[in-house]
A and B are shown apart, each in its own frame.
Chain A
Amino acid sequence: MSSRIHRIVPYLFVLPPLILLAVFVYGPAFENVIFSLHSWSSINPDWEFVGLRNYRQLFANPVFWVSLSNNTLYAVISVIVQVFVALGIAAVLSAGIFRPRLNTFFRTSVFLPAILPVTVVGLLWQLIYQPSIGLIDQFLFSTGLGNLSRVWLGEEQTAIYAIILVSQWQWTGYMVALFMVAIAAIPTDLYEALEMEGATRIQQFRYVTLPGVRESTLIFTVITIFGAFKVFDIVWVMTAGGPNRASEVLGTHMYRSAFRDDVVGYSSAVATVIFVITICVGIVQLMLQRDE
């Protein structure tokens, strides 16, 4: 009797979060796939089963491909900056090169943007990007580089890059902080042993820091990629996908389809694609971790 209770108790503890997850995460995700196989509108109770028509439409839509490539660009740049550049900054700040006070100042200043709400950041940078009166143009004109001036958020070629830059500005410091924690967990003996062997700081980074943060790097990379494919808020605030849908990402495309164009089935298909991409990234992460 008691052994049966012992077997059941662990499941009882896991049950409440499992129920919540099933109702609010797995259920809707599954339902979303069903939605995507229908043609329906939020104000029409009649659903029409259309099979894969939404997906065919989606793949035929150039806006989808623009969105997908923007997300990919977002992911690539974010991984480079928020993972690798952040790791470099974290390594420098952790190495005790600067005096403690200066170190704290640098750490705080790179971290600060992460505590601002995305909408505030978006509006702030809209001002900075403002043609003629914005900080960037002011700077360009005052240094004689005025011919480089552009309507940063208003031109198809620059809009998505301008937004991606803002994301890097906001989140790199946060990743630096996370990396610093990971680096702090590496035993100092390992550095000292190499120091006695005559290793330079770069060699210490290569032989100790890099392998020491391998796991964290993998996880931070995956989180960054997830974030890049789910991005919505900053794009919506700054350009809402414009101009001429050049800065559209999957998130804004999905939102516009559902809540502006009222093609909810189609929008669900976009959601399913995002879901599949993130699952694939997750599987790759698990495989890499198993290698370790």
Chain B
Amino acid sequence: MIKLEAQSLTKDFGSVRALDDISFTVAEREFVVLVGPSGCGKSTLLRLIAGLEEISNGKLIIEGSRVNDVPASQRGLAMVFQSYALYPHMTVEENMSVGLRIAGKPKDEIRQKVKTAAQILQLDELLARKPKQLSGGQRQRVAIGRAIVRDPTVFLFDEPLSNLDAALRLQMRLEIAKLHKQLNATMIYVTHDQVEAMTLADKIIVLNNGKIEQTGSPLELYRQPLNRFVAGFIGSPQMNFLDGRITAAGDKKATINLDCGLSVPLEDLDASLAGKRATLGIRPEHIVILSEERQTVAPACANVQVVEHLGSQTIIYANLEDGTALSIIDDETTEQCPGELIAIDVPSNAAYLFDENGIERLRSSRISERKK
């Protein structure tokens, strides 16, 4: 069942168009993540949904009815703010119950709801404390508790973890994922962190410059990015992009000659692409470092700049001869050193191809298609 639907939403601030033609649906119990770089409009979109900003054009539908002109409080939504928005002079219990008190709910009901929410979030012991006596993670939980108490149709989260340190962020991420299951809740979550998006979402909506770049499940976006932006945004370290010219196309000998000197054979390219410039995309984990015995036929050399040993894998940052920066994930525990030259190969079955402007994907990686 569709809980929430956006139909061609736009938002203008004066002459600036912050959001343009945004359409998507949120199904019941779905966890939808709006992700994109700073200033892409994701928070604005959440505020439009919440009713904190007016919709300039388009339709917003919640549970079948148009809510463009319905005030924020009557849309049945609850929002968790980035800053937590806790009232410093109120205790945890008062903070969680403020909405119910405003609504004039009976005291017993309020107490019961707060108690239940506090148990879910393990806040029982902290109900009498004031926000300043809580840690960042606890404050975050109180803010979520305030949302739970309202029993909303859809939960809205606005970058809820960005004020927490890395360890706590991971922990809260897991808690939010658990909460989603436990409450059977529908959630819309805004973040700029693609790892959060990948780990939490059933569906990711990638936004850039006020437009939706792509909508899909985390693995769909990872394996089948529609354009260079999504390819670069999803995945860490990000996909490598190598510019070049398609020398032959149409037959089995289609090839792209990269500016770094490497030639990569690509099958099944449209014949019209011959002679055009294009960008080849290859994920760091797919680049192959050639061992010494195979280096005699080395297709390309890269100069190692930085090596990060993460234990289970090693990330190598290297520069190609033409200066293009490259990141490589190496599962082997080979011990490359900065300054060393390594021979690399770009396996054609893992390569994506984008047009010169990065707007259109010309070819998907064969590996991802097999997995699909």
A residues engaging B (CB < 8 A)? 187, 189-190, 192-199, 203, 207-208, 211, 214
Given contacts A189-B81, A203-B102, A207-B98, contact A196 B87 (CB under 8 A): no
B99 partner residues in chain A, CB cutoff 8 A: 196-198
Chain B residues in 8 Å Cβ range of A198: 71, 73-74, 99, 102-103
- Indicate whether B248 reaches chain A with its CB closer than 8 angstroms: no
Cβ contacts under 8 Å, A190 to chain B: 85, 87
Cβ contacts B143-167/A at 8 Å (1 or 0 each)? 0001000100000000000000000
Contact partners of A208 in chain B: CB under 8 A: 87
Residues of A within 8 A of B82 (CB): 189
Closest beta carbon of chain A to B79's beta carbon, Å? 6
Q: Is B339 in the interface zone, CB < 8 Å from A?
A: no
B63-92: CB near A (< 8 Å → 1, else 0) gives 000000001111001110111010111000
Question: Is the CB–CB distance between A193 and B85 below 8 Å?
Answer: yes
Q: B71 to chain A: which residues have CB within 8 Å? A: 198
**Complex Cα gap A5–B340 (Å):** 52
Contact: A211 with B87, CB < 8 Å?
Answer: yes
Q: Shortest beta-carbon distance, B143 to chain A, in Å?
A: 9
CA distance A199 to B71 in the complex (A): 11
Residue of A nearest to B158 (CB): A189
Q: In the complex, how many angstroms separate the beta carbon of A288 from the nearest chain B beta carbon?
A: 14
Instruction: Decide if B52 is an interface residue (CB 8 Å cutoff).
Output: yes
Say yes or no: B98 contacts A196, CB within 8 Å: no
Cβ contact of B73, chosen from A196, A207, A211, A214, cutoff 8 A: A196
Residues of A close to B51: CB separation below 8 A: 196
- Nearest A-chain residue to B143, judged by Cβ: A193
Given the known inter-chain contacts A189-B81, A203-B102, A207-B98, please indicate yes or no for A196 contacting B50, CB distance below 8 A: yes
Give the contacting residue for A196; candidates B72, B83, B88, B89; CB below 8 A: B72
B98 contacts across to A, CB distance below 8 A: 194, 197, 207
Count B interface residues, CB 8 Å: 23
Known: A195-B72, A199-B102. 7 other contacts (CB 8 A): A192-B81, A193-B81, A196-B77, A196-B79, A197-B102, A211-B88, A211-B89
- CB contacts (< 8 Å) of A194 on chain B: these are 98, 102
Chain A residues positioned under 8 Å from B74 (CB to CB): 198
Please indicate the chain A residues that have their CB under 8 angstroms from the CB of B81 in the complex: 189, 192-193
Contact A189 B85 (CB under 8 A): yes
Closest to A189 in B: B85
Determine if B150 and A197 form an interchain contact, defined as CB atoms under 8 angstroms apart: yes
* Min CB–CB distance A159 → chain B (angstroms): 42
Query: How would residues 125 to 149 of chain B score, 1 for a CB under 8 Å from any chain A CB and 0 otherwise?
Result: 0000000000000000000001000
17 interchain pairs, CB-CB under 8 A: A187-B83, A187-B85, A193-B79, A193-B81, A194-B102, A195-B52, A195-B73, A196-B50, A196-B51, A196-B99, A197-B98, A197-B102, A198-B71, A199-B73, A199-B102, A207-B98, A214-B89
Closest 3 CB pairs of A and B: A198-B73, A197-B99, A193-B85
Residues of A within 8 A of B83 (CB): 187, 189
Report the bound CA distance from A190 to B73 in whole Å: 14
Most buried by B among A190, A197, A208, A214: A197
The docked-state distance in angstroms from the alpha carbon of A216 to that of B68 is: 39
Q: Closest Cβ of chain A: how far from B85's Cβ, in Å?
A: 4
Q: In the complex, which of the residues B52, B89, B150 contacts A192, with contact meaning CB atoms closer than 8 Å? A: B52
Distance between B146 CB and nearest chain A CB, rounded to angstroms: 8
Residue of A nearest to B47 (CB): A192
Residues of B contacting A193 in the complex (Cβ-Cβ under 8 angstroms): 79, 81, 85, 146
CB closest residue in chain A, given B149: A197
Please report the C-alpha to C-alpha distance between residue A54 and residue B102 in the assembled complex, in whole angstroms.
59
- The smallest C-beta distance from A87 to any residue of chain B, in angstroms, reads 16
From A192, A211, A214, B85 is in contact (CB under 8 Å) with A192
B52 contact from A196, A203, A207, A211, Cβ within 8 A: A196
Q: Which of A187, A192, A199 has the most CB of B within 10 A?
A: A192
User: For the complex, what is the distance from the CA of A211 to the CA of B11, rounded to whole Å?
Assistant: 34
1/0 per residue, CB under 8 A from A, across B321-345: the answer is: 0000000000000000000000000
List, in ascending order, chain A residues with CB within 8 A of B150's CB.
Answer: 197
**In the bound complex, what is the Cα–Cα distance between A226 and B370 (angstroms)?**
81
- Complex CA gap A209/B112 in Å reads 29
* Shortest distance between the CB of B370 and any CB in chain A (Å): 46
Residue of B nearest to A191 (CB): B85
Question: In chain B between 93 and 144, which residues have their CB closer than 8 angstroms to a CB of chain A?
Answer: 98-99, 102-103
Kindly provide the distance from the CB of B104 to the nearest chain A CB, expressed in whole angstroms.
10
With both beta carbons as reference points, the residue of chain A lying nearest to B89 in the complex is identified as: A211
State the Cβ distance, A214 to closest chain B Cβ, in Å: 7
Bound-state Cα–Cα, A196 to B46, Å: 13
Q: How far is the CB of A243 from chain B (nearest CB, A)?
A: 48
Distance in angstroms between the alpha carbons of A135 and B78 in the assembled complex: 56
Kindly list chain A residues whose C-beta atoms are within 8 Å of the C-beta of B88.
211
A-facing residues in B1-58 (Cβ within 8 Å): 50-52
Q: Which interface residue of B77, B99, B103 has the most chain A CB atoms within 10 A?
A: B99
B87 and A207 contact, CB distance less than 8 A: yes
**Nearest chain-A residue to B103 (Cβ)?**
A198
Residue of A nearest to B100 (CB): A197
Chain A's closest residue to B52 (CB) is A192
User: Which residues on the A side are within 8 Å of B73 (C-beta)?
Assistant: 195-199
Q: How far is the CB of A187 from chain B (nearest CB, A)?
A: 6
Residues of B within 8 A of A203 (CB): 102
Residues of A within 8 A of B52 (CB): 192, 195-196
Of chain B, the residue at the smallest CB distance from A203 is B102
Q: Which residues of B contact A207 (CB under 8 A)?
A: 87, 98
**Chain B nearest Cβ from A47, distance in angstroms:** 55
Closest to B50 in A: A196
